[in-house]
């Protein structure tokens, strides 16, 4: 049992522990080397030895990344006598320290950090980005204990942004309720711009990292719309404060946290309407995760194990539904038109239909196998897998339409998410299972969804897009390629002037006639080909014609004969039907607004 008496007014802390205490310190003395220096003090710990562990993965990013690989110079000292302790590793990410009669120990080590992405710590001469799980080890017995984090950094750096609360009277110390919160509280240090505003009754902060041109007023107005719209769905905002860390000097992407998010965007994202809309959609996506994933979460995420994978078959909901709701929020906030909203949904439908893997892997299995498949994509991904983001988003749309129709416009997927949030997170304090979602959706839609879940979630049956869109009086039109488009079923890319096979489509001509990823296509029917003329040469052939491909495969010249086929990839358009029934009108208005 750990007792912590705290005063959150700044924060003043008086920590009392029954079984040891732990304090963290991160120092930055040579930022140009990209090395953080870490010191961890453990006091009053009972045991013959103590294990310090470095996590192997980051919540929200489902891949074992082995953060211990960046640790150097690990040392341990027994504080009572200031003598070196005996240390040995018991596995790839665990350092065991022999304590014998001692109870106090300090460890020191360095961590190299120079991967520029939202999930990894980063350090250079200009700024530091701290992801605690990539820098700070933990002790199992004290994972639930409160602690203090001290930061030391160059005097020339004046800005610091994090969702952690400062210890009152200590400029560079932060209160940490437990290790899970520490992992979930990224920190940006440097000279970045800081924008503050209130939304949904909560203080919000935006840290703009890197040189970027932006309109502060517009940014506040647009983020406020997103925050208010998301909060209105759940009628509750669980934060005391919230921090957006916007990295304009790194790769694009985002990662959600309990009271913050890290967004990687293009440096010019605020100067182009298209890029700015992409930024707003990303912000909406990550902010929605406050509820879905961080609080309304799979039951398997109730207790996180940082030593190994944590499996769930619900990522199609956690990520897919969140992708659907970022589209809904863009619609609610009038950042996207109804037409854009529908077309974005149709584009995701086409991705599923054009991916052979959607008939191979269920979205439930895709969620469970994210650790070994989605985050380790290869050239055969589209043939063997389905994206739980894409299919989950589309299933969210279809389920939304089913619920609105079954309730005659009185309920929607918004209401189901809110009900689950209040029932499981707020009241029970635990995560959900697939059956919990199914039960809530059935209750809202007044229908049995067993076939929907069996066919579409746990099975690989084609989704009946037309049926569900028709509920809102929307007619789906399918277009198969274009009249003259031909294909060999292979993706070809230019690499240094060479035309290289990068992907092969299952059951296509290339798949069946022996082309392989990595082959260089030299000529087709004796015509020298490159990226600019290859499609023209293929389209000169008739469907069913045989074409001779001259290839270079690992330095060996060979020939393959491929039959030319019609390009049957689909895309979708739609039309709003005239003479919609009253129910269709209700569904349309509830889904898209009047």
The pLDDT of 199-220, averaged and rounded, is 96
Tell me which residue has tokens 């499609």: 535
Lowest mean pLDDT among 213-217, 251-255, 389-393, 440-444: 251-255
| pLDDT-based confidence at residue 82 (cuts at 50, 70, 90) | confident
Could you tell me if 300 and 312 are in contact, meaning their C-beta atoms sit under 8 angstroms apart?
A: yes
Say what the pLDDT of residue 203 is. 98
Residues forming beta bridges with residue 84, ordered by sequence position: 77
Dist. CA 507–CA 383, nearest whole Å: 9
What beta strand segments (E) does 423-580 contain? 474-480, 486-487, 490-495, 498-504, 520-524, 527-528, 546-553, 556-563, 565-566, 570-576
Structural tokens at position 426: 């707020």
| pLDDT-based confidence at residue 518 (cuts at 50, 70, 90) | very high
Predicted confidence (pLDDT) per residue in 103-148, tens digit: 999 999 999 999 878 999 999 999 999 999 999 999 999 999 999 9
Could you tell me if 148 and 24 are in contact, meaning their C-beta atoms sit under 8 angstroms apart?
A: yes
- The number of beta carbons lying within 10 Å of the beta carbon of residue 190 is 22
Say what the pLDDT of residue 256 is. 97
Say what the pLDDT of residue 482 is. 55
pTM above 0.85, yes or no: yes
Q: Measured between alpha carbons, how far apart are the two ends of the chain, in Å?
A: 55
Say what the pLDDT of residue 5 is. 30
Could you tell me if 38 and 28 are in contact, meaning their C-beta atoms sit under 8 angstroms apart?
A: no
Give DSSP secondary structure letters for 399-449.
HHHHHHHHTTTS--HHHHHHHHIIIIIIII---B-HHHHHHHHHHHHTS--
3-state secondary structure of 165: strand
3-state secondary structure of 303: coil
| pLDDT-based confidence at residue 1 (cuts at 50, 70, 90) | very low
Dist. CA 466–CA 474, nearest whole Å: 8
Residues forming beta bridges with residue 247, ordered by sequence position: 209, 264
**Structural domains of the chain ordered from first start:** 2-189 (2.60.40.3650), 291-457 (1.10.390.10), 486-566 (2.30.42.10)
* CA 148 from centre of chain: 28
3-state secondary structure of 260: strand
* CA 220 from centre of chain: 24
Of the candidates 465, 347, 492, the one whose C-alpha atom is nearest the C-alpha of residue 399 is 465
Mean of pLDDT over the chain: 94
Eight-class DSSP state of 341 = H
- The number of beta carbons lying within 10 Å of the beta carbon of residue 482 is 12
The pLDDT of 93-97, averaged and rounded, is 98
């Amino acid at each position: 049992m750990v007792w912590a008496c705290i005063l959150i007014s700044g924060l003043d802390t008086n920590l009392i522990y029954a079984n040891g205490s732990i304090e963290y310190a991160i120092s930055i003395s040579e930022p140009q080397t990209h090395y953080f220096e870490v010191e961890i003090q453990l006091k009053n710990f009972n045991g013959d030895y103590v294990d310090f562990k470095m996590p192997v993965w980051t919540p929200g990013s489902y891949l074992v990344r082995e953060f211990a690989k960046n640790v150097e110079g690990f040392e341990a000292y027994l504080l009572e006598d200031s003598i070196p302790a005996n240390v040995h590793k018991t596995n790839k990410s665990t350092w065991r320290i022999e304590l014998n009669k001692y109870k106090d120990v300090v460890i020191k080590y360095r961590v190299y950090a120079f991967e520029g992405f939202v999930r990894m710590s980063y350090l250079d001469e200009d700024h530091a980005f701290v992801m605690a799980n990539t820098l700070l080890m933990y002790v199992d017995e004290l994972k639930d204990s409160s602690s203090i984090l001290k930061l030391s950094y160059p005097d020339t750096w004046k800005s610091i942004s994090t969702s952690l609360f400062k210890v009152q009277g200590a400029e560079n110390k932060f209160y940490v309720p437990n290790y899970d919160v520490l992992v979930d509280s990224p920190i940006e240090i440097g000279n970045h711009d800081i924008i503050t505003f209130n939304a949904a009754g909560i203080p919000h902060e935006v840290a703009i990292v890197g040189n970027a041109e932006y309109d502060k007023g517009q940014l506040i107005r647009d983020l406020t719309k997103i925050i208010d719209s998301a909060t209105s769905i759940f009628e509750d905002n669980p934060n005391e404060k919230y921090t957006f860390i916007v990295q304009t000097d790194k790769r694009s992407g985002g990662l959600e946290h309990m009271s913050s998010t890290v967004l990687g965007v293009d440096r010019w994202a605020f100067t182009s309407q298209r890029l700015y809309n992409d930024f707003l959609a990303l912000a909406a996506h990550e902010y929605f995760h406050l509820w879905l994933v961080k609080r309304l979460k799979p039951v398997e995420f109730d207790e996180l194990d940082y030593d190994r994978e944590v499996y769930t078959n619900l990522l199609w909901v956690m990520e897919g539904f969140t992708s659907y709701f970022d589209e809904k929020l863009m619609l609610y906030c009038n950042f996207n038109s109804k037409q854009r909203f529908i077309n974005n949904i149709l584009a995701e439908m086409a991705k599923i239909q054009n991916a052979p893997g959607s008939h191979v892997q269920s979205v439930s299995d895709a969620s469970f196998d994210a650790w070994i498949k989605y985050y380790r994509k290869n050239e055969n991904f589209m043939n063997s897998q389905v994206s739980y983001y894409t299919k989950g988003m589309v299933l969210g749309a279809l389920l939304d339409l089913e619920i609105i129709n079954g309730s005659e416009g009185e309920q929607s997927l918004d209401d189901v998410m809110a009900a689950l949030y209040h029932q499981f997170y707020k009241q029970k304090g635990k995560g959900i299972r697939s059956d919990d979602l199914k039960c809530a959706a059935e209750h809202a839609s007044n229908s049995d969804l067993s076939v929907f879940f069996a066919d579409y979630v746990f099975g690989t049956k084609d989704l009946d897009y037309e049926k569900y869109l028709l509920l809102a009086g929307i007619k789906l039109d399918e277009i198969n390629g274009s009249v003259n488009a031909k294909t060999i079923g292979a993706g070809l890319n230019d690499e240094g002037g060479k035309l290289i096979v990068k992907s092969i489509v299952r059951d296509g001509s290339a798949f069946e006639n022996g082309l392989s990823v990595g082959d260089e296509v030299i000529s087709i029917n004796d015509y020298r080909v490159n990226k600019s003329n290859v499609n023209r040469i293929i389209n000169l052939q008739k469907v069913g014609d045989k074409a001779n491909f001259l290839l270079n495969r690992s330095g060996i010249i060979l020939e393959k004969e491929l039959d030319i086929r019609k390009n049957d990839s689909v895309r979708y358009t739609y039309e709003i039907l005239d003479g919609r029934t009253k129910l269709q009108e209700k569904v349309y208005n509830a889904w898209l607004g009047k």
